[in-house]
Amino acid sequence: MIDALRAAAAAAVPSGISVGVDVVSVERVRVALGRTPSLVANILSSDEMVSAPAGRLAEFVAGRWAAKEAICKALGVGLCQLRPNAITITSDAAGPGLTVGFAVDVPAHLSGVHVSVSITHDAGIAAAVAAVVADAAAG
Amino acid sequence: MQQVTTRAEVAATISELLAELGFTWSPGDSEKIHVFDDLGFDSFDGYELVTMLEDRFEVPSAPEDFAATFTMGSIVDVVCSKICAT
């Protein structure tokens, strides 16, 4: 699976950059979390679980879901190949940027790429765009 | 934990979970029905269903378990492979 994911990521960024985008309704996520509470732990990484604001959980999860979907689209892999909770998106301490990290058993899949992501919320919608930049040395 | 031992019971339980998500599929319907193309699933629906299956049957799924699982019959088979009596 490691080789397959690396190959998929490389194939997705043949010219050096690939993008993905996703959008989800915050209310839809709120309803889903009420119906299936364990969905939170299946979407958020353990670090994200700690930082998730209790009063805005649905909005937070919706943003993270959209971002992780966007990342998978940019990588050219499905969520069955890269579980959302294996991705951690944290806020940069120095500014509005976000940092993307992968679970310890995942980096080998993605050693040749750099991932950037941006999340926005408005009008009950969470949306995200991800960009994957291939490391030429890894190709 | 719900004690499910037959494929028919697994199919019935999955039908119930689908109804909770707002989708209609009964064990008597075709097992070739495609969850994305025919039922109208999107990735969030799929991920919630996998989570519901894990909760209901108390069997963690490996990510690749459902990687090529797009029809109702194949979903029943994946779950049944973990819990059905042989």
pLDDT greater than 70 at residue B43:
yes
Choose among B20, B44, B65: nearest Cβ to A35. Answer: B20
| Residue of chain A with shortest Cα separation from B49 | A36
Nearest residue to B47 (alpha-carbon basis) of A86, A129, A53: A86
A14 CB-near residues (< 8 Å, 6+ apart): none
- At A121, is the secondary structure helix, strand, or coil? strand
Choose among A32, A69, A81: nearest Cβ to B63. Answer: A81
Whether residues A32 and B44 touch (CB distance < 8 A) is answered with yes
- In tens, the pLDDT along A26-61 reads 999 999 999 999 999 999 999 999 999 989 999 999
At B69, is the pLDDT very low, low, confident or very high (cuts 50, 70, 90)?
Answer: confident
Low-confidence ranges of chain A (pLDDT < 50): 1-6, 13-14, 107, 138-139
Whether residues A81 and B47 touch (CB distance < 8 A) is answered with no
Size of interface A-B (CB pairs under 8 A): 42
B47 CB neighbours in chain A (<8 A) are 39, 42-43, 79, 84
